[in-house]
Amino acid sequence: MLDDVVRLIRENEDFFLVTHLGPDGDALGSQIALGRFLQKLGKRAAMINSEEPPYSLDWMPGADDVEVFDGSLDQHEALADADVAFVLDTNDEERLGKVGSMVRESTATTVLIDHHLEPEQWFDLAFVRDRAAATGELIYELIAAIDPDLIEETIATGLYTAIMTDTGSFRYSSVTPQLHRIVADILERGAISPAPIHETIYDRKSMPGLRLLGRTLNRIRLRYDGQLGYSAVTQRMVEDTGASWDDKQGFVNYVLSIEGVKAALLFSEVDDGAKISFRSEADVRVDEWARHFGGGGHRNAAGAYVKRPSFEEAIEDVVEAAGRFVEFDTPHGPDGQLSPEDQAYLETLLEDKSD
């Protein structure tokens, strides 16, 4: 666990760090923080991912040190020379893209640092805690165990961004007093202030992105007596608004914010089905539901890619399965009586008919 990773860092010189496709704030922030920390210890650290970071994170100090895999000799050598390869913020080879199989097959000692459920078993070493708020929290613990005095602006910004983005700005159930203590230490040591980081990440929305949000909100549907909410983003909506797919980040949280909604879904149309974001309130789990459809993630935030002949079928199948994975309060009385809401709804239908 932690002690083994500390020893591995002390005893080796060449490191390789990779994180998942579509790197988010936790992925990139953890990678930059650990990579820069290793460099400050006088070691070599190559940071190479299969995909570029999104526009919302390109401002991060140290982001220029992170390369996109291009198959060059230099990059192959960086991995071939590495004593240790860190896999950050995903426990799934496929989520690493092209670099995944290269890392798995490399001679480096592979180390997983992550907070997702059900890790794959091919890693030589794992520092994993699924209750951690972010991979960045684990990176902080690792740094604190070796030399917290090395935390400076770049490392602090990486760690803060990681924790802030993975906790929805410190509001998820994973947030604890200890996490706030860690964050206070990060801010002090790095002499950074949180407001500009928050603004740079969340207050750079584009007009097309907001139009896409408007159309997505218009399409919200409720099921299971208002306890499940879902909406969908179609390829057509993205084209019409001129938005990019990155803009849908966070849309699902609007659905979850509706009073009474315990679980929320956002479906994104792909050619062979749907990509789905699952979100839930603290005491409701959605990870099993996502796993049933070939995905995975956390208790309250998960994802899946569901292949179906049509987008609508994917939506229908996932929504219909909800009752098997989420315990909704039963709307009907024990003797099959309709709830007052359902009764009222039926009456409006009957009135329409008699007109």
Residue in 14, 89, 141, 287 binding Mn ion, rule: CB under 5 A:
89
* Closest distance of CB 302 from Mn ion, Å: 12
In angstroms, the CA 120 to CA 104 distance is 11
| Near Mn ion in 34-53, by CB under 5 A | none
Q: Name the minimum Å distance from CB 116 to Mn ion.
A: 7
CB-based contacts of 123, cutoff 8 Å, min separation 6: 87, 91, 110, 111, 112
Which one of the spans 90-98, 151-159, 163-171, 313-321 is the region binding Mn ion (CB under 5 A)? 163-171
Q: How far is the CB of 115 from Mn ion (least distance, A)?
A: 6
If the CB atoms of residues 166 and 287 are measured against Mn ion, the closer one turns out to be: 166
Rounded to a whole number of angstroms, the minimum distance from the CB of residue 296 to Mn ion is 13
Minimum Å gap between C-beta 55 and Mn ion is 19
To Mn ion, the closest distance from the beta carbon of 135 in angstroms equals 5
114 lies in the binding site for Mn ion (CB under 5 A): no
* Residue 287 within binding range of Mn ion, rule CB under 5 A: no
Residues in 211-270 at the binding interface with Mn ion, rule: CB under 5 A: none
Which of residues 91 and 241 has its CB atom nearest to Mn ion in the complex? 91
Interacting span for Mn ion (CB under 5 A) from 161-169, 218-226, 250-258, 266-274: 161-169
Angle (nearest 5°) at CA 181 between 177 and 185: 170
Cβ closest to Mn ion, residue 14 vs residue 89: 89
Judged by CB under 5 A, how many residues of this single chain contact Mn ion?
4
Find the binder of Mn ion among 9, 14, 23, 26 (CB under 5 A). Answer: 26
Stretch that binds Mn ion, among 89-97, 235-243, 289-297, 335-343 (CB under 5 A): 89-97
The residue (of 215 and 299) whose beta carbon lies closer to Mn ion is 299
**Closest CB to Mn ion among residues 97, 273:** 97
C-beta closer to Mn ion: residue 63 or 322:
63
In the complex with Mn ion, the residue whose CB is nearer, 89 or 141, is: 89
| Residue 91 C-beta: closest distance to Mn ion, Å | 11
State which residue, 26 or 247, has the beta carbon closest to Mn ion: 26
Residue nearest to Mn ion (CB): 26
Q: Give the residue with the Cβ less far from Mn ion, 135 or 157.
A: 135
Tokens of 250: 């966070």
Q: How far apart are CA 229 and CA 94, in angstroms?
A: 29
SS (H, E, C) the chain: CHHHHHHHHHHCCEEEEEECCCCCHHHHHHHHHHHHHHHHCCCEEEEEECCCCCHHHCCCCCHHHEEECCCCHHHHHHHHHCCEEEEECCCCHHHHCHHHHHHHHCCCEEEEEECCCCCCCCCCEEEECCCCCCHHHHHHHHHHHHCHHHCCHHHHHHHHHHHHHHCCCCCCCCCCHHHHHHHHHHHHHHCCCHHHHHHHHHCCCCHHHHHHHHHHHHCCEEECCCCEEEEEECHHHHHHHCCCHHHHCCHHHHHHCCCCCCEEEEEEEECCEEEEEEEECCCCCCHHHHHHCCCEECCCEEEEEEECCCHHHHHHHHHHCHHHHCCCCCCCCCCCCCCHHHHHHHHHHHHHHHC
Interface with Mn ion includes 166 (CB under 5 A)? Answer: yes
**Site stretch for Mn ion (CB under 5 A), options 5-13, 37-45, 82-90, 309-317:** 82-90
CA–CA dist 62, 196 (Å, integer): 17
Which positions lie near Mn ion, rule CB under 5 A? 26, 89, 135, 166
